[in-house]
């Protein structure tokens, strides 16, 4: 076998796994980047910060199901690790490469160097070092295998040398690729038939069952099977925030997002259910409003690909281990629709809860108020995001507004949300657009979230990454208002507002100055034309919407 460099090997392997983009701040694996140019079509997106590079890789991964790749040299490694935390919380297959220490010089106070490896431990499924060029092929294969297998998640490889200079070394190595591990899911484990029948018996026996669908449904692309089973057995469906695109919000059985950043109707329906069937959800605090929705002890059934997830928070009457799409398909084959009639009153009850929700919020959803209400922004996005659109939503108030008030209209739309980090959505949207350039990408963020990575407007313009970013600009992080009201004993002092308010800035003007399309919106009637113009633009677009600083999203109902 001829000798090749680690750089040649790595460039060929990344291309072999189907990577189209990598996201990084230079300089790391410099020779690999040169080889990428010579040997591959991979685009090397250099960003204005390692954290946003990680978020772009995360958006890329969640939009495509293919691992997103981000990189940093030794001094940027912890910035990159910080950016992996959301991918870790959201189970997104991100692969991070960093430069690391050289055994010849470590412990000698090398410029910029600390031991970064431990910092990756809490945010990765696998955290390893590549110290010898001969290990490139097996370590990179393992990185892909771990990232996409089981419950997906981030991995980290640290390459020897502050910039990963081990890639210059040569060895007799083969850039072998295992295409099976180029995307989620690599396997679709079949469930045990007895467990499928036991779960069905519970569902068919229940009078008021509800399904709670999570991110595992989207990872498994199991939306169609989920909806078919719900229809066959007449079972209302709530989703976690991460599973919001498992079922279109306008479907007659959809009751909304449950938990903390939620829609009241979903929590009310779950509260009235006599059986909860969890599918591909870790039943975490956010989805269950800290285990109040439903209450622990409710008769429960759970389906998951990870055996350790089954029964973690809710004691189960039945559990099914397997890939969500396959499990739901098997359940559909075996389901007995004769039990459906007895659930008709329950479905009607769930639908009237949804109708009550819509009536309660209609004044806000249709509000003509100036400054604009965020609810009205959500409604305009429901109407105008194209049928093949990908929507990415920041956390905090953005997560509450869109989780509760926005609906997907069709199963071909996708929805992803920050798993907790303010500032995630804008760079993640750029990554999603890189992964799916033919699909419209629409980001919803608050102004506090947008400020985090505003420099990436320049990256978007430079690389022609034409996402649309809609900013709920209330010149504040006003989700914090309630909390400060509380600690000030009811009403804040004027000075307390310093803790969560900003200057009102016109982001449209900043965007234009950098070369993006900037549209400022101050009246509700301007929203629809602005969104439509932004979607048609042949450059990245920022729609800056001036909204009401006093508007607070409804808190979760239990
Ligand atoms: C990394 C990170 N730091 C802090 C927070 C806490 N946090 C949640 S929402 C929020 C303010 C949100 O402001 P903005 O995005 O402008 O939305 P608004 O509340 O004004 O609608 C903050 C600071 C967080 N979620 N993530």
- Report CA(529)–ligand 1 centroid distance (Å): 28
Which atom of ligand 1 is least distant from the CA of 395?
25
- Report CA(3)–ligand 1 centroid distance (Å): 51
SS3 83: helix
Other beta carbons less than 10 A from residue 302's beta carbon:
25
Which atom of ligand 1 is least distant from the CA of 445?
15
Rounded-to-integer distance, Cα 210 and Cα 498, Å: 44
- Report CA(177)–ligand 1 centroid distance (Å): 41
Tens-place pLDDT, residues 35-44: 999 999 999 9
Pocket flag, ligand 1, residue 474 (CB < 6 Å): yes
Q: Which of 481, 450, 454, 453 is nearest to 548 (CA)?
A: 481
pLDDT of res. 491: 86
Q: Which residue has a Cα nearest atom 8 of ligand 1?
A: 396
Ligand 1: residue of 422, 474, 482, 550 to mutate (most ligand atoms within 8 A of CB) is: 422
Q: Which two tokens stand for residue 408?
A: 């997907």
Which atom of ligand 1 is least distant from the CA of 452?
1
SS3 308: helix
Which atom of ligand 1 is least distant from the CA of 423?
1
Average pLDDT over residues 102-113: 94
Which atom of ligand 1 is least distant from the CA of 394?
15
Which atom of ligand 1 is least distant from the CA of 481?
19
Q: Which residue has a Cα nearest atom 23 of ligand 1?
A: 477
Tens-place pLDDT, residues 399-419: 999 999 999 999 999 999 999
pLDDT of res. 544: 98
Pocket flag, ligand 1, residue 473 (CB < 6 Å): no
Pocket flag, ligand 1, residue 476 (CB < 6 Å): yes
- Grade residue 145 by pLDDT with cuts at 50, 70 and 90: very high
pLDDT of res. 493: 87
Which atom of ligand 1 is least distant from the CA of 448?
16
Pocket flag, ligand 1, residue 287 (CB < 6 Å): no
Asked whether residue 67 carries a pLDDT value surpassing 90, the answer given is yes
Pocket flag, ligand 1, residue 83 (CB < 6 Å): no
Q: Which two tokens stand for residue 254?
A: 């959809």
DSSP of 109-136 = --TT----HHHHGGG-SEEEEE-SGGGH
- Grade residue 221 by pLDDT with cuts at 50, 70 and 90: very high
Asked whether residue 147 carries a pLDDT value surpassing 90, the answer given is yes
Tens-place pLDDT, residues 327-363: 999 999 999 999 999 999 999 999 999 999 999 999 9
pLDDT of res. 494: 86
pLDDT of res. 303: 98
Q: Which residue has a Cα nearest atom 24 of ligand 1?
A: 422
Pocket flag, ligand 1, residue 418 (CB < 6 Å): no
- Report CA(110)–ligand 1 centroid distance (Å): 37
Tens-place pLDDT, residues 307-329: 999 999 999 999 999 999 999 99
- Report CA(467)–ligand 1 centroid distance (Å): 22
- Grade residue 162 by pLDDT with cuts at 50, 70 and 90: very high
Pocket flag, ligand 1, residue 397 (CB < 6 Å): yes
Q: Report percent pLDDT > 90 for the chain.
A: 97
Q: Report percent pLDDT > 70 for the chain.
A: 100
Average pLDDT over residues 54-73: 98
Cβ(28)–Cβ(99) under 8 Å? yes
- Grade residue 492 by pLDDT with cuts at 50, 70 and 90: confident
Asked whether residue 454 carries a pLDDT value surpassing 90, the answer given is yes
- Grade residue 234 by pLDDT with cuts at 50, 70 and 90: very high
pLDDT of res. 23: 98
Helix 50-64 and helix 425-435, axial crossing angle in degrees, nearest 10: 50
Q: Which residue has a Cα nearest atom 9 of ligand 1?
A: 396
- What is the enclosing helix (H) or strand (E) of 5? strand 4-5
pLDDT of res. 250: 96
Rounded-to-integer distance, Cα 331 and Cα 531, Å: 41
Which atom of ligand 1 is least distant from the CA of 553?
21
pLDDT of res. 481: 87
Cβ(116)–Cβ(110) under 8 Å? no
- Report CA(114)–ligand 1 centroid distance (Å): 30
Tens-place pLDDT, residues 273-315: 999 999 999 999 999 999 999 999 999 999 999 999 999 999 9
In this structure, what are the phi and psi dihedrals at residue 348, rounded to the nearest 5 degrees? -65, -40
Mean residue pLDDT of the chain comes to 97
Cβ(163)–Cβ(28) under 8 Å? yes
Average pLDDT over residues 9-27: 97
Locate tokens 């799916």: which residue?
A: 436
Name which residue leads in pLDDT, 352 or 493: 352
- Report CA(419)–ligand 1 centroid distance (Å): 12
Pocket flag, ligand 1, residue 422 (CB < 6 Å): yes
Q: What is the pTM of this model?
A: 0.97
Tens-place pLDDT, residues 357-383: 999 999 999 999 999 999 999 999 999
Distance between start and end Cα atoms, the chain: 65
- Report CA(501)–ligand 1 centroid distance (Å): 11
Rounded-to-integer distance, Cα 14 and Cα 36, Å: 9
Tens-place pLDDT, residues 205-216: 999 999 999 999
Rounded-to-integer distance, Cα 321 and Cα 327, Å: 8
Q: Which residue has a Cα nearest atom 7 of ligand 1?
A: 396
Which atom of ligand 1 is least distant from the CA of 450?
15
pLDDT of res. 490: 86
Cβ(84)–Cβ(120) under 8 Å? yes
- Grade residue 485 by pLDDT with cuts at 50, 70 and 90: confident
Pocket flag, ligand 1, residue 86 (CB < 6 Å): no
Which atom of ligand 1 is least distant from the CA of 374?
21
Q: Which residues contact 194 (CB under 8 A, 6 or more apart)?
A: none
pLDDT of res. 1: 85
């Amino acid at each position: 076998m001829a000798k090749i460099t680690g750089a040649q090997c790595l460039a060929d392997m990344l291309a072999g796994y189907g990577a189209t983009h990598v996201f990084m701040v230079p300089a790391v694996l410099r020779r690999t980047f040169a080889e990428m140019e010579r040997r591959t079509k991979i685009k090397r997106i250099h960003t204005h910060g390692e954290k946003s590079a990680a978020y772009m890789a995360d958006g890329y991964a969640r939009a495509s199901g293919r691992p997103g790749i981000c990189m940093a040299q030794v001094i940027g490694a912890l910035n990159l690790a910080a950016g992996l935390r959301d991918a870790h919380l959201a189970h997104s297959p991100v692969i991070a490469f960093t430069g690391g220490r050289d055994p010849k010089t470590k412990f000698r106070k090398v410029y910029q160097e600390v031991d970064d490896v431990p910092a990756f431990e809490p945010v990765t499924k696998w955290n390893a070092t590549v110290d010898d060029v001969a290990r490139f092929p097996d370590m990179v294969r393992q990185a892909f295998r771990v990232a996409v297998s089981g419950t997906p998640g981030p991995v980290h490889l640290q390459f020897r040398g502050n910039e990963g200079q081990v890639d210059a070394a040569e060895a007799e190595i083969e850039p072998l690729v295992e295409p099976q591990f180029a995307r989620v899911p690599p396997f679709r484990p079949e469930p045990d038939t007895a467990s499928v029948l036991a779960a069905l018996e519970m569902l068919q026996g229940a009078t008021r069952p509800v399904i709670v669908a999570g991110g595992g449904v989207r990872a498994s692309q199991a939306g169609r099977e989920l909806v078919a089973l719900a229809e066959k057995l007449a079972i209302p469906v709530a989703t976690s925030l991460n599973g919001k695109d498992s079922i279109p919000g306008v479907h007659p059985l959809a009751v909304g997002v449950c938990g903390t950043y939620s829609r009241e109707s979903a929590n009310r329906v779950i509260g009235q259910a006599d059986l909860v069937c969890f599918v591909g959800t870790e039943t975490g605090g956010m989805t269950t409003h800290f285990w109040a929705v439903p209450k622990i002890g409710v008769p429960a059934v759970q389906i998951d690909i990870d055996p350790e997830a089954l029964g973690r928070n809710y004691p189960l009457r039945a559990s099914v281990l397997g890939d969500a799409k396959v499990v739901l398909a098997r359940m559909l084959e075996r389901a007995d629709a004769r039990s459906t009639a007895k659930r008709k009153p329950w479905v009607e009850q769930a639908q009237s809860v949804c109708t009550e929700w819509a009536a309660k919020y209609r004044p806000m959803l249709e509000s003509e108020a100036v400054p604009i209400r965020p609810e009205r922004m959500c409604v305009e996005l429901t109407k105008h995001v194209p049928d093949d659109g990908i929507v990415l939503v920041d956390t905090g108030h953005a997560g509450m507004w869109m989780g509760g008030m926005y609906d997907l209209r069709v199963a071909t739309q996708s929805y992803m949300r920050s798993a907790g980090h303010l500032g995630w959505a804008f760079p993640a949207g750029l990554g999603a657009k890189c992964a799916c350039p033919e699909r419209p990408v629409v980001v919803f963020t608050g102004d506090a979230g947008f400020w985090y990575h505003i420099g990436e407007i320049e990256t978007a313009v430079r690389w022609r990454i034409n996402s649309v970013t809609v900013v709920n600009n209330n010149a504040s992080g006003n989700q914090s208002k309630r909390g400060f009201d509380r600690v000030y004993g009811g009403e804040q002092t004027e000075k307390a507002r310093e803790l969560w308010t900003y200057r009102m800035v016109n982001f449209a003007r900043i965007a234009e100055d950098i070369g993006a399309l900037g549209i400022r919106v101050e009246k509700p009637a301007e929203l629809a034309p602005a969104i439509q113009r932004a979607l048609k633009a042949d450059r990245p677009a920022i729609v800056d919407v001036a909204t009401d600083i006093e508007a607070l999203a409804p808190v979760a109902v239990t």
